[in-house]
Amino acid sequence: MRLKIENLSKTYPNGVQALKNVTLDIPTGMFGLLGPNGAGKSTLMRTIATLQEADEGSIHLDNLDVLTEKEEVRKLLGYLPQDFGVYPKVSAEDMLDHVAVLKGITNGRERKEIVDTLLKQTNLQADRKKNLGGFSGGMKQRFGIAQALLGNPRLIIVDEPTAGLDPTERNRFLNLLSEIGENVIVILSTHIVADVSDLCSNMAIISKGEVVLKGSPTELLATISGKVWEKTIDKTEMDAYKANYNFLSSRLFAGQPTIRVLADSQPDDSFQGVEANLEDLYFSRGEIAAAEENALVEG
């Protein structure tokens, strides 16, 4: 199974160009789509999920034309959007049974077996009789994946699935995605760098509707290997370092900021070389760093 996206573009009526000639080749396995909020990730996910139209370009799932053969694509698709509603007074078991009927699983015994299997797989069996309104954020996300897995999909799309989850729920959810991604295409759309570095063998970075980097994390990290430098500075020096260096990121340690910069050689003796990580790669794109900073200011 392979998903091929070629020259996909989308402009909304308000003039915002959400996608600009996006081209991606996505094989079976976990694929990470990384980018800041507002980068166009959700627009791309909704278009692949047959929920909105593109202005230009094509999408093919093997021999299926995603943009014109929507009903056939939906039979192979599982989708967990960033925000999805649940009926708060319906139990997880009953809701899954209902969705299974909607997906065409009409045999009662078969449906019960499938629902039981999915509840076990998503670690919700003990909560099967609990109303969805009483679920935690992580439980709702796992229930969302259970819904997405109904009908044995070959393409699964998850949009910002770990946002707002506590560390325990996040790890449980990511482990579940990793298991699922062994045999199907799973597209993980997120702005959380660690989600992609932990799971995905292939990835792309999107910013302002354009793909700015794509490949395997290992190959992409090789492009900045030996070029990331770290230094602890005084808080009052932060603006000067941002202005004079290719600034990547900063974190506080014992109340003092430790900064990371990108440079072909050691900027000076006060910097020490560090191993590059996916977050460094992410912020090495200046347009992404600016978008993240603007999001923080606007938020």
Q: What whole-number distance in Å separates Cα of residue 175 and Cα of residue 186?
A: 13
Residue 83 has pLDDT above 80, yes or no: no
Average pLDDT over residues 4-21: 96
Average pLDDT over residues 84-92: 85
| Residue range 138-160, pLDDT digits in tens | 888 889 889 988 988 999 999 88
Average pLDDT over residues 202-219: 92
Residue 69, number of CB atoms within 10 A of its CB: 14
pLDDT at 161: 82
Residue 111 identity (one-letter amino acid):
R
pTM attached to this predicted model: 0.83
Report residue 297's pLDDT band, with 50, 70 and 90 as the boundaries: very low
| Residue range 212-229, pLDDT digits in tens | 999 999 899 999 999 999
Residue 121 has pLDDT above 90, yes or no: no
Report residue 127's pLDDT band, with 50, 70 and 90 as the boundaries: very high
Q: Where in the chain is the domain with CATH 3.40.50.300?
A: 2-220
The residue among 84, 102, 100 whose CA lies nearest residue 45 is 84
So what CATH class is 2-220? alpha beta
| Residue range 238-277, pLDDT digits in tens | 999 999 999 999 999 888 999 999 999 999 999 999 999 9
| Residue range 169-182, pLDDT digits in tens | 888 888 888 888 88
How many percent of the chain have pLDDT more than 90?
62
pLDDT at 296: 33
Q: Convert the chain into a string of H (helix), E (strand) and C (coil).
A: CEEEEEEEEEECCCCCEEEEEEEEEEECEEEEEECCCCCCHHHHHHHHCCCCCCCEEEEEECCEECCCCHHHHHCCEEEECCCCCCCCCCEHHHHHHHHHHHCCCCCHHHHHHHHHHHHHHCCCHHHCCCEHHHCCHHHHHHHHHHHHHCCCCCEEEEECCCCCCCHHHHHHHHHHHHHHCCCCEEEEEECCHHHHHHHCCEEEEEECCEEEEEECHHHHHHCCCCCEEEEECCHHHHHHHHHHCCEEEEEEECCEEEEEEECCCCCCCCCEECCCCHHHHHHCCHHHHHHHHHHHHHC
| Residue range 41-70, pLDDT digits in tens | 999 999 999 999 999 999 999 999 999 999
| Residue range 32-45, pLDDT digits in tens | 999 888 889 999 99
Instruction: Give me the chain's average pLDDT, please.
Output: 89
